[in-house]
Structure 1
Amino acid sequence: MNLKFQVPAPTTFRKHKTAKEALENPPISKDAPNNEITSQSQVVIERLKFIRPGQNAWTADIPDNLRLNVRGAKLSQIYRRLDPDKPSYTLTGSGGGGTHGYHWEEPRALTNRERARIQTFPDNFIFEGSKESARKQIGMAVPPRLSEIIFTAVLKTIAGIEYENISPHYGGQLLFFENF
């Protein structure tokens, strides 16, 4: 039997969920698991006051005394605030020094529950370990909603059930294996 996997069609094309929708609908309970707020130093709080939603430490107009003194790479993730009206950017599980992801309005890093919400984890999913360990688990995970879409397509392929799909070619290059 020759099975041909089809790339699932986008599920959020032109109907994406904004960062604000992900975090506020429904509101996250203050006592939700993995929802501890990380305290920020006064310098970070002052720096964040100059960074508008969607900006980072390199694109914002920050006074010289609050600018980062870093040579070399200028990662876009550093002190980057979410834009409440756009989908979230990628939240990573590694690093430090301003790479935690930041709230668009409040001068603080996102809580792990907020990060988990953005990654599509259900609110009742509990991450074990320290706050830093939970942050890494969330950032390194494949989002559950993405896993569901891929596994559903694989199971439907095996069962011979049709599903909405798109061409596996982009710009003339094959995106996925055509047969498995």
Structure 2
Amino acid sequence: MTRKFTACKATISNRDFPPDSFLNELIDWARQAPDEIFKENNNNDIYSSVAPELGSWNGLLHRKAVMLEVLRVLGGFESSWNWKEGRDMTNPNSNTPCSEEAGIFQCSGDSIGFDPSLKKLLEDVSGKTDCETFIKVSKSNKRFAIEYCARLLRFTVNHHGPVKRKEINSWLNSDAVKEFQSFLSD
């Protein structure tokens, strides 16, 4: 299916705009993702963080579309949508395999401790749970990278600097959420 993106192509800061291939990956993943990733919880999570810009929540489909919008913007901020992005050379704490950022969303292996589901996801995909494997899988398996980051954002907003400091919030676009929602519902 060929999708025509308009609102989802909005630029992010000085990163230009996301490629269609990235947007299609997000949508295709969300259509098959477990609903548990998007359901309400008691955590101070990404939905709490972006509620002023994109809330109030109108069901599961809306929550999925909001997550995709967050990932669209975060992917731009963290890596200019580069699936194979490596370590953040400006981060002095990125000096071990477990603290090294990896991939499009710049997650690091030390985030596995936020919830057992994160470790299980890595193990299910790779058969291993070590940080070197996390780096390799984060850069090579797009579905893993998306789902891992989405799950992580449900447990904490403090792992990603741009999320923690709310740098992504001004770039979030309610029209992009509506566009994502339309692609998820057809």
Sort the TM-score into its range (normalised by shorter chain). under 0.3
Task: State the TM-score, normalizing by the size of structure 1.
Answer: 0.25
Which structure has the highest helix share of the two? 2
Task: State the TM-score, normalizing by the size of structure 2.
Answer: 0.24
Which structure has the greater CA radius of gyration? 1
